[in-house]
């Protein structure tokens, strides 16, 4: 009987896919929003820009404006003077902002770079409103009804010529409005921050944050006239500075407690 000769097996070529390269962990960093453009005046020299963009979780920046329009005081800054040094575990840093186009954004942008706060809450006066207004959106337009404190009065001018039409506030505005009301202070979510320096600052700060890669959350709150301001303004609504400060403290507390907003209706027809 003839024995069949066993063929020797040739080694098969290795057709396995090459192993993927090792994963290298990198620090998290928020990428700049595509298309976001910072005006040249707002650009910070590269050598002074911190490499790390992560915020300090224990710092909240609260800003108020200097007086304008012939007023002796601005309730937004008077509120800042009454805020506690800490809210929860967060250190409160306050900053007075000039009531001027562009300069207001530059002032807050420099503070964001220096402090790297987790939250920025800007406050401004809206004479004629009767409650705290937590603003939902800032729009890319300046249309000044009067000159700012530097004599500038832009009309129908874009804040950032190549920027998006609007930015939504990144704070939990509905949770904040509810917390303010629960503190006994009238409050609402507002859908217009106007077209003066307050809206200019809201849009500009959000634009700066988006373009620079910071993870800071930011927004704006309008407050009524202080009681002392309406002594010569019959019929105008007002509120005590102490009550407004209590409302702002409640709003900051809610913003620190909520990473995402509460889903409740705050819609309005006007």
Task: Please identify every residue annotated as catalytic.
Answer: 135, 198, 222
Q: CA-to-CA distance for 109 and 114, rounded, in angstroms? A: 9
β-bridge mates for residue 117, sequence order:
56
Task: Return the residue matching tokens 């937004």.
Answer: 76
CA distances from residue 57 to 112, 257, 266 in whole angstroms, order as listed: 13, 12, 28
CA distances from residue 45 to 50, 51, 121, 154, 266 in whole angstroms, order as listed: 10, 12, 25, 27, 41
């Amino acid at each position: 009987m003839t024995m069949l000769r066993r063929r020797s097996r040739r080694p098969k070529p290795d057709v396995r896919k090459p192993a993927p390269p090792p994963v290298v962990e990198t620090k998290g960093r928020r990428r700049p929003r595509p298309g976001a453009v910072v005006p040249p005046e707002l650009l910070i020299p590269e050598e002074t820009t911190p490499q790390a963009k992560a915020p300090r979780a224990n710092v909240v920046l609260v800003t108020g404006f200097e007086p304008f329009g012939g007023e002796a005081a601005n309730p937004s800054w008077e509120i800042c003077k009454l805020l506690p040094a800490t809210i929860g575990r967060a250190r409160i840093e306050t900053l007075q902002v000039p009531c001027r186009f562009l300069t207001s954004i530059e002032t807050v942008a420099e503070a964001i770079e220096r402090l790297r706060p987790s939250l920025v809450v800007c406050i401004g006066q809206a004479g004629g409103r009767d409650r705290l207004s937590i603003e939902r959106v800032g729009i890319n337009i300046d249309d000044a009804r009067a000159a700012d404190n530097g004599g500038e009065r832009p009309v129908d001018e874009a804040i950032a010529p190549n920027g998006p039409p609007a930015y939504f506030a990144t704070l939990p505005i509905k949770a904040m409005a509810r917390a303010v009301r629960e503190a006994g202070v009238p409050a609402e979510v507002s859908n217009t921050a106007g077209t003066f320096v307050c809206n200019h600052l809201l849009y500009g700060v959000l634009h700066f944050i988006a373009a620079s890669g910071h993870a800071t959350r930011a927004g704006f709150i309008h407050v009524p006239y202080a009681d002392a301001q309406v002594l010569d303004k019959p019929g105008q609504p007002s509120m005590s500075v102490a009550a407004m400060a209590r409302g702002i403290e409640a709003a900051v507390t809610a913003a620190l407690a909520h990473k995402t907003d509460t889903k409740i209706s705050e819609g309005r027809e006007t």
